[in-house]
Amino acid sequence: MLETVQCVILARDIEIEKSRFDVKQIEYFVLAKLATKVDTIREICASNHINILWISSKHDLAKAVDKWPIVSAIAILDYRGAEDAYSEAMHTLTNFMACCRIVEHTDQPSLLA
């Protein structure tokens, strides 16, 4: 299945909803497991050259795919019929990453160069 993934969309506000169990140790454990899963998704995407797009919230992602109430992540397997939207999203991602490299000075060996 991983071979067919073209892109992954993640909500920026991925978190665990508060449950009845408000014990700090359990809450920390659950949040740590979720963070590990998100990190794993990011690592898999990076190692397989799969683009990750971020959307502002789970609610916005749910609206975009007409689901209710929330969606945290989506893997796009086939974007046929939405090539223009996909190309625009990839263009925006490329521009954003270029800006990040400029801000973080990753393209120059020294700030004084």
pLDDT at residue 24 tops 90: no
| Residue 3 CB coordination number (10 Å) | 6
Where residue 102 falls among pLDDT bands split at 50, 70, 90?
low
Identify the burial level of 11 via C-beta atoms within 10 angstroms of its C-beta, where 0-12 means exposed, 13-18 middle and 19 or more buried.
buried
pLDDT at residue 3 tops 90: no
- Residue range of the domain that includes 11: 2-78
Taking only Cα atoms into account, the Rg of the chain, rounded to an integer number of angstroms, comes to 17
Q: Are 62 and 14 in contact (CB under 8 A)?
A: no
Looking at the structure, do residues 39 and 93 belong to the same domain, yes or no? no
At residue 28, the pLDDT reads 61
The tokens of 6 are what?
Answer: 């073209």
Looking at the structure, do residues 16 and 69 belong to the same domain, yes or no? yes
CATH of the domain at 38: 3.30.1330.30
Q: pLDDT tens, 42-100?
A: 999 999 999 999 998 999 999 999 998 999 999 999 989 999 998 998 888 888 777 77
